Structure 1
Amino acid sequence: MNKNTGLVAIIAILTLLFLGTGWWGMSQKNEKEAFMEKNAALQNTVDELETLKLDLTKEVERLEANYATLAEENEALQTSVENAQSVARQKAREIANLKKKAAAENNSLRAQIEELLKIKSELESRIQDLEAENEALRSENEQLSTDLASSQAENEALARLNKTIQDELKRLTHATFKASGFRVEVEKRKPKATAKSRQARRILVSFDLVNVPEEFRGVRPVYLVITDDKGTPIRVSNPINAQVDVNGQVMDIQAVSSREENIGENQRLSFRHDLENKLRQGYYRVAVYTDVGLLGASSFRLR
């Protein structure tokens, strides 16, 4: 009986030990599996951060290259090359300092990635600023080129007009019968001078005839002719067509007004022409003829 009781006790103890050992083994296995899963997750996170860091580094390098290209274009567009180079160098130093600061102050991957993101954002912002500035400079340069071309065209038109006037004065005037003090004024509706085409309402012309030879004195027709820089007469409702005889050669003219004038030895003559139509912007030529040639001419410009 005692032997059976002891045997049962031994079997019970062994069973408990066996169960305890099994439970401990299972517990260790579960802990090991949990640890392995946690370690794998941590490794995946580290790998992802490494990949993100690598991608951001490549993106920053690409942005730096874009920034350098834009900076070169900016330097070419800047009116002050020295100032543009100084700004570009300063921005390059700032970027280098940001990168050094990121490497020196941040040891963890997350901190480095944050710094790279800041650098990326800064580069993108500066690239946008440079693109906007370059676009503004391009527009300004285009406007300057347009203004320069317009100015050159106007100067060429004025030069052609003045040459035409001088050639005609030499060819069509008599050495002893020509105007002096030739003056042209453009007025607004009120008697006030203007150079604006939309305000021009009348043209005033005045000149002197002095020491007129006897052969040219007496009653003669006097014609006022107004043309644009291409020689086209301005529009009037009743143009006056006439012929001028210069040294035996007849020339046709179209005048805006005319009158008979008793020419003496010395006098000052004047014309007033009220415009029927508004004149466009540009250069215009005013000339005064008699039946024997050109007395004088001048030009004016309307803006």
Structure 2
Amino acid sequence: MNKRTITIIAILLALLFVGSLIWGVTTKNKLEANYTEKSSEAEQLTLLRDNLMKSVDSLDQAFQEVSGENAQLQGELTTAQETAQAALYDMRRAQKARKNDNDVAYEMRKQIEDLMNVRSMLETSITELTEENKDLRQRNVVLRQDLSTAKTEAYESNKKVDNLSRLNESIEADLERMTLGNFKATAIQVDLLRKNGSNTANANRARRIAVSFDLTDVPSEFLGVRPIFLVLTDESSTPVISENPVRAKSIVNGAEKDIIALEGRDVNLERNQRISFTHELSDKLDEGFYRAEIYTDIGMLGSAKVQLR
């Protein structure tokens, strides 16, 4: 190796050393500068960290306070909601009650109007009844007088009825004596008939009279053809006269008696037989008792009563 080469190597090494030294110094300066910068940044970061930690602590405390307030507010909100619901319920109930009150008031007004109308009607009725009672009192006085008169008349009528009863009993006895003993009518039936043939007891509707009777065990001396007469009398024994009355004579109690009959006809008398008469009435009969009497030429065969109302 030559000197030049060594010199070059030496120069190169020197240059290399100088370069290394420069680089080292530069790097050191940079590192120191970076360290200083990093240190300053670290300090700033530390300060920032400390501030952030304080902020976090403050925020945490604020969060805790806010959380507490939030829970309180949440409770107050719930209470407020419940209060609002209760108020709404009360309001609806009040509205419903008011509607019901309105309905009740309407019904009450109707009832009051009805009661007022009823009161007016009652007052009118009371006035009318007062007048009617006044009239009735006056009529009552008249009726009392009429009643007194009617009692007197009733007493007189009772006396007449008693007299008629005694007269009727006497007539019954006389009629019994007037019959011919064994030759008499039995099972006498008297019916008053309407136009259509049905029975009636109404004096205004009686249009005909039907009389039937039995003759049984007729004695031999009375058999054969004999006249039979139907006589109708009223309560006073006065004969009812038809448009074509049948006038005849009969022997009663051994004496001749004139009779006025509704009908009369000749009948061939047998030992036992039933005989019927049906006669159309010329005039309407009055109310009262009537007697149908059966006669023959030699006496009275029997009689029966009928009543019209």
Q: TM-score, normalised by structure 1?
A: 0.51
Aligned mates of 1:144, 1:269 — CA distance in 2: 51
Matches within 5 A, 1:229-244: 229-244=235-250
When residues 140 and 217 of structure 1 are mapped into structure 2, their CA distance, relative to the original with a 3 A threshold, is farther
Q: Kindly indicate whether residue 187 of structure 2 is the aligned counterpart of residue 181 of structure 1.
A: yes
Aligned mates of 1:191, 1:151 — CA distance in 2: 35
- The secondary structure found in structure 1 opposite 2:181 is coil
Amino acid at match of 2:182: T
When residues 301 and 140 of structure 1 are mapped into structure 2, their CA distance, relative to the original with a 3 A threshold, is farther
When residues 205 and 236 of structure 1 are mapped into structure 2, their CA distance, relative to the original with a 3 A threshold, is same
Corresponding residue for residue 74 of structure 1: none
Question: Which structure's CA Rg is the greater one?
Answer: 2
> Do the aligned partners of 2:294 and 2:303 also contact (CA within 8 Å) in 1?
yes
Aligned mates of 1:139, 1:187 — CA distance in 2: 42
Q: Please, which of 202, 207, 210 is the counterpart of residue 204 of structure 1?
A: 210
Q: Please, which of 247, 251, 265 is the counterpart of residue 245 of structure 1?
A: 251
Q: Please, which of 219, 223, 227 is the counterpart of residue 217 of structure 1?
A: 223
Q: How far did residue 155 of structure 1 move?
A: 4.2
> Do the aligned partners of 1:157 and 1:283 also contact (CA within 8 Å) in 2?
no
When residues 252 and 155 of structure 1 are mapped into structure 2, their CA distance, relative to the original with a 3 A threshold, is same
Q: Among all aligned residue pairs of Structure 1 and Structure 2, give the percentage whose two residues are the same amino acid.
A: 39
Q: Please, which of 164, 182, 192 is the counterpart of residue 198 of structure 2?
A: 192
When residues 209 and 252 of structure 1 are mapped into structure 2, their CA distance, relative to the original with a 3 A threshold, is same
When residues 139 and 281 of structure 1 are mapped into structure 2, their CA distance, relative to the original with a 3 A threshold, is farther
Runs of 5+ consecutive residues of structure 2 not aligned to the other structure: 1-127
Q: How far did residue 233 of structure 1 move?
A: 1.8
Aligned mates of 1:126, 1:198 — CA distance in 2: 39
When residues 153 and 208 of structure 1 are mapped into structure 2, their CA distance, relative to the original with a 3 A threshold, is farther
> Do the aligned partners of 1:283 and 1:302 also contact (CA within 8 Å) in 2?
yes
Q: TM-score, normalised by structure 2?
A: 0.50
> Do the aligned partners of 1:243 and 1:250 also contact (CA within 8 Å) in 2?
yes
When residues 264 and 245 of structure 1 are mapped into structure 2, their CA distance, relative to the original with a 3 A threshold, is same
Amino acid at match of 1:224: L
Q: Kindly indicate whether residue 281 of structure 2 is the aligned counterpart of residue 275 of structure 1.
A: yes
Corresponding residue for residue 116 of structure 1: none
> Do the aligned partners of 2:207 and 2:280 also contact (CA within 8 Å) in 1?
yes
> Do the aligned partners of 2:290 and 2:307 also contact (CA within 8 Å) in 1?
yes
Aligned mates of 1:280, 1:166 — CA distance in 2: 22
Amino acid at match of 2:246: I
1:129-152 per-residue CA deviation (whole Å, 9 max, x = no partner) reads 876555555566646974982974
Corresponding residue for residue 174 of structure 2: 168
Which 4+ residue blocks in structure 1 deviate beyond 6 angstroms?
125-130
Q: How far did residue 222 of structure 1 move?
A: 0.2
Matches within 5 A, 1:1-303: 134-135=137-138, 137=140, 142=146, 146=150, 149=154, 152=158, 155-156=161-162, 159=165, 162-246=168-252, 248-303=254-309
Aligned mates of 2:177, 2:260 — CA distance in 1: 19
Amino acid at match of 1:212: V
> Do the aligned partners of 1:158 and 1:283 also contact (CA within 8 Å) in 2?
no
When residues 144 and 187 of structure 1 are mapped into structure 2, their CA distance, relative to the original with a 3 A threshold, is farther
Amino acid at match of 1:290: T
- The secondary structure found in structure 2 opposite 1:162 is helix
Amino acid at match of 2:305: S
> Do the aligned partners of 1:244 and 1:293 also contact (CA within 8 Å) in 2?
yes
- The secondary structure found in structure 2 opposite 1:283 is strand
Corresponding residue for residue 60 of structure 2: none
> Do the aligned partners of 2:241 and 2:260 also contact (CA within 8 Å) in 1?
no
Deviates more, 1:256-265 or 1:163-172: 163-172
> Do the aligned partners of 1:186 and 1:193 also contact (CA within 8 Å) in 2?
yes
Aligned mates of 1:154, 1:194 — CA distance in 2: 28
When residues 164 and 130 of structure 1 are mapped into structure 2, their CA distance, relative to the original with a 3 A threshold, is same
Aligned mates of 1:146, 1:271 — CA distance in 2: 42
When residues 222 and 126 of structure 1 are mapped into structure 2, their CA distance, relative to the original with a 3 A threshold, is closer
1:175-224 per-residue CA deviation (whole Å, 9 max, x = no partner) reads 11111111211111111111221111001111111111111111110000
When residues 248 and 200 of structure 1 are mapped into structure 2, their CA distance, relative to the original with a 3 A threshold, is same
Aligned mates of 2:211, 2:167 — CA distance in 1: 18
Corresponding residue for residue 22 of structure 1: none
Q: How far did residue 158 of structure 1 move?
A: 5.8
